[in-house]
Amino acid sequence: MRIDNTKAQMRKGVLEFCILSILKNGEAYPSEIIKALKEGELIVVEGTLYPLLTRLKNAKLLSYRWEESPSGPPRKYYSITKEGEYFLGELGKTWEKLVKAVNLTQKKKSTRDE
């Protein structure tokens, strides 16, 4: 059992949740999403995001529109779809349960430790 592996697994699980959450607040282009994710140290390298966005888009959870950029090629501005919002809502519920479960188990553990 490698610690890195487990960490990566845990991170993967919430990455999708976070991307949808970011886009729920309004449309954004990949660099903005990356910035937000980097702040939370969820991803380290940018390349990871692009295949993920494409897959989410193909799963119809996201949509995008093109916008001209003053300093480079046109940018894709992603926004969340109706389906994506439903998906996010479901993930949110699960997330709350998970937090509860983790807190509960940790509390028990700490009380046992005392």
CB of 111 vs another protein, minimal distance in Å: 36
Closer residue to another protein, CB minimum distance, 2 or 112: 2
Query: In the complex, which residues of this chain contact another protein (CB under 8 A)?
Result: 8, 11-12, 15-16, 30-31, 43-48, 50-55, 57-59, 69, 71-76
Q: Which of 86, 43, 42, 83 is nearest to 62 (CA)?
A: 83
CB of 44 vs another protein, minimal distance in Å: 7
CB of 24 vs another protein, minimal distance in Å: 19
Q: Which of 74, 36, 29, 69 is nearest to 53 (CA)?
A: 29
SS3 44: coil
CB of 13 vs another protein, minimal distance in Å: 9
DSSP 47: G
Closer residue to another protein, CB minimum distance, 1 or 113: 1
Closer residue to another protein, CB minimum distance, 73 or 114: 73
Q: Which of 89, 86, 92, 27 is nearest to 53 (CA)?
A: 27
| CB 27 within 8 Å of CB 77 | yes
